[in-house]
Structure 1
Amino acid sequence: MPLAAVTALLVTACQPGAFGTQPTPPSNAAPAGVELSQLVVQARSGMGGYSREKFPHWATVSGECDTRETVLKRDGKNVQTDSQCRPTSGTWFSPYDGATWTKASDVDIDHTVPLGQAWESGAAKWTTDHRKEFANDLTRPQLRAVTDNVNQAKGDKAPDEWKPPLKSDWCAYATDWITVKHYYQLTVTAAEKSALTDMLNYC
C-alpha cells in the first residue's frame, strides 16, 4: 500500500467517531466544578438573628397560585387544582428517595440551598427583597417537590451534613446546589466543598 494511503488510513482511525465509536460527551460535572472553584471558602457565620420570616416565601406567582402551588404543578404529573390553585389530585416523584406520592400533603417544596444555610453563608447581609427572590426562585434549580419527612430530615444542613438517600441523585443535587450558591454568591466551607466535589464524581 502506498505510504500516502497508509497515512490517510491512520488519520481516519484516530478521528472521533472512527470505527463506530462516538466522542465522549462533556460531563455536567465540568461546569459545576468550575463554578465550585469560584466560590469563596469560609466558615459559616452562624444562625444568630435568623428566622424563616426574614425570607418571605410562597409569594403569589399568578392569579391564585403561589410559589408552592406552582412547583407542585410543575413537578407533578396530571395535577388537577381547585379554584384557589390547590392541588386536588396528581402524582409526585421525589428524587431524593425515589418515592411516589398521590397526595400533595405528603410532599414538601424543598429549598435546595436551605434558608438557614443561605443565612449563615451570606444572606444575613441581604435586603428582605433579595431574600424573598431567593426563597421563591423558579428560575434557578432552587425548589424541588420531595417527600415531606425526607425534607424535614435535611433541615438546614449542607452537603457535608446531609445527602439525598439515593446516590443516583447526588450528581443533580450537587450541581443544583453549586448553581444556586454561585448565582447568589454564597460562600462554602472547606468540608462542604469537599463533599460537593465527591458528589460530582457521580455525574
Structure 2
Amino acid sequence: MPPLSAPKWTLRAAAAFLVLITATACEVVPPEDSGSAPGSGTSTADARDAQTELGKLKIAKAGSMRGYSREKFPHWNTTGSNCDVRDTVLKRDGTKVKVSGCNVVAGTWTSIYDGDKITDPGKVDIDHMVPLANAWRSGANAWTTEKRQDFANDLDDPQLVAVSASSNRSKGDQDPSTWKPERSAVWCEYAQDWITVKSKWKLTVTTAEKAALTDMLEKC
C-alpha cells in the first residue's frame, strides 16, 4: 500500500505512521514535531505549481443536485479487523494517540480550520476537503458507485482531514468562493490541497471558485 497522503499541515505535525495492533490500549507516539506552525513554510514553487494545475481545471457551472445522496459515496472503508478509514485519519492527524485494537480511544487533535483542540476522538469530524456534494455537482454524478467510494475514502491525496465538528458543519458542501477556513494563515495550503484533489479526480471548478482559489494562493 502506498504511503498515506495528508494535507500539508498535518504532515508538519506528524508523519504518516503504522500502528501496532494489540489487544489492550496502547499509545501511538508520532515523530517529534519540527516546531513549524500550521500555515508556514509553503514554498513559492508549490504555489506556482498549484496555480498551473488550477489553470488546467475545466471551468463549468455547478451541476444539479438531483439524485444526490451521501449513500452514493460509501464510507468509511474497512482497513482491518474492526478498523476503518476514519480510524486511520485519526491516528495520522492526532498526537499522543491511544488505540484499543484498531479503535482510537484517546489523543489530541488540533483543527486546522479554527485552531480548536479536541481530546475526545468521538468529537472529531473527518472532513472531505472537496465535499461529496460539491464533487457530485462538479462531475462525480457521472461516476460509478465504486469510483465515488474510492473518492470518499481517498487516503492517497489530501482529501481527508481531522477537524472540529463546528468548522465542518460551517463548511458544509461549500467551495472556497463561499467558505474559507477561519484561520487565514492556512488559506494557501487549503487552496493547494483543494486544487490537488480536483486535479487528481478531474473535477470541474466554477468561475467564482477559481477566482477564490487564485486569491487564496496569494497567501503563499
**Same fold (TM > 0.5):** yes
1:42 corresponds to 2:22: no
Residues 12-51 of structure 1 mapped to structure 2, 5 A cutoff: 26-51=44-69
Show the counterpart of 2:183: 166
- The structural deviation recorded for 1:65 is 1.4
Show the counterpart of 1:198: 215
Structure with bigger gyration radius? 1
Aligned to 1:188, the other structure's residue is in SS state coil
d(CA) in 1 for partners of 2:80 and 2:154? Answer: 14
1:181 corresponds to 2:159: no
d(CA) in 2 for partners of 1:177 and 1:157? Answer: 12
Show the counterpart of 1:70: 88
TM-score by length of 1: 0.85
Show the counterpart of 1:98: 115
* Structure 1: stretches of 5+ with no match in the other structure: 1-24
d(CA) in 1 for partners of 2:121 and 2:173? Answer: 22
More helix by share: 1
d(CA) in 2 for partners of 1:26 and 1:41? Answer: 25
d(CA) in 2 for partners of 1:104 and 1:97? Answer: 17
Query: What amino acid sits opposite 1:149 in the alignment?
Result: S
Query: What amino acid sits opposite 2:89 in the alignment?
Result: V
1:107 corresponds to 2:127: no
- The structural deviation recorded for 1:87 is 1.7
RMSD: 1.0
* 1:155-198 C-alpha deviation (Å, 9 max, x unpaired): 00010010000001101110000000000000000000000000
TM-score by length of 2: 0.79
Query: What amino acid sits opposite 2:201 in the alignment?
Result: Y
d(CA) in 2 for partners of 1:109 and 1:103? Answer: 13
Show the counterpart of 1:55: 73
d(CA) in 2 for partners of 1:61 and 1:138? Answer: 11
d(CA) in 2 for partners of 1:66 and 1:106? Answer: 17
Show the counterpart of 1:5: none
Aligned to 1:28, the other structure's residue is in SS state helix
